[in-house]
Structure 1
Amino acid sequence: MYAVAVALCRALAWGYFASLRLEVLALTRHPEDWSVRARWRLTGLPLHLLLLRWYRRDKRTLLRSYDALSTFFLNSQGLIRCHRVDKLMPAPTAVPEPKKLLVAAALAVALARP
């Protein structure tokens, strides 16, 4: 059942995102309660934004990220008996910095005119 649930979540994610990337940020083992905690990030381009803004050449500003913390509880054989997603939240989007050279050139042209 666990494999079916993971496959269903994966299919739903591929249905929502046009391009999808999963990053595992940290893994920690906790032998006192037989658990493994994973911090991960899901980054992708939502399909509806791709369809609405297809004309944009640089689509990096349209990417969305979600950070999550999962806990995997293990049984005595080391197999996963319970997987709990503790937190799932949107990650702050990176604001692209303005092109400094372009801004400086525009400022120089504006100041050079009498």
Structure 2
Amino acid sequence: DFIGVEENEEEPEDTDLDSPRGKKTDELDQYLNLGIDKSKLESNPLSFSKEYQDEFQRLSRYARSIHSIPATSASVERQFSEAGLIIQERRTNLNPERLDNILLIRSMQKKNIFL
């Protein structure tokens, strides 16, 4: 759903380039027709996006959005670590719902969010 059209959905071709859909399609077509040599691209995809941001405004915005997602699992690892501290030998019968509630309350306390 990269340009707002479902894969299996058949729609008439939009030739009106002034319409939002026409601009999206035209921009994507222009990008695909550039014939970029992928071996010459830098390892940082955002540099390419920045270089062509005036030509491909929407695609540049999508690229920044996609490439700004953190590629770390640190927050998940912290949650597992905290869960491990809560479930100790004497608390092995703690039900999952109660454990979730304890983790939620601890997380809210750390962020100074109180009920």
TM-score over 0.5 for the alignment?
no
Query: Scaled by the length of structure 2, what TM-score is found?
Result: 0.24
| Structure with greater proportional strand content | 1
TM-score, length-scaled by structure 1 = 0.24
More helix by share: 2
Larger of the two Rg values belongs to structure: 2
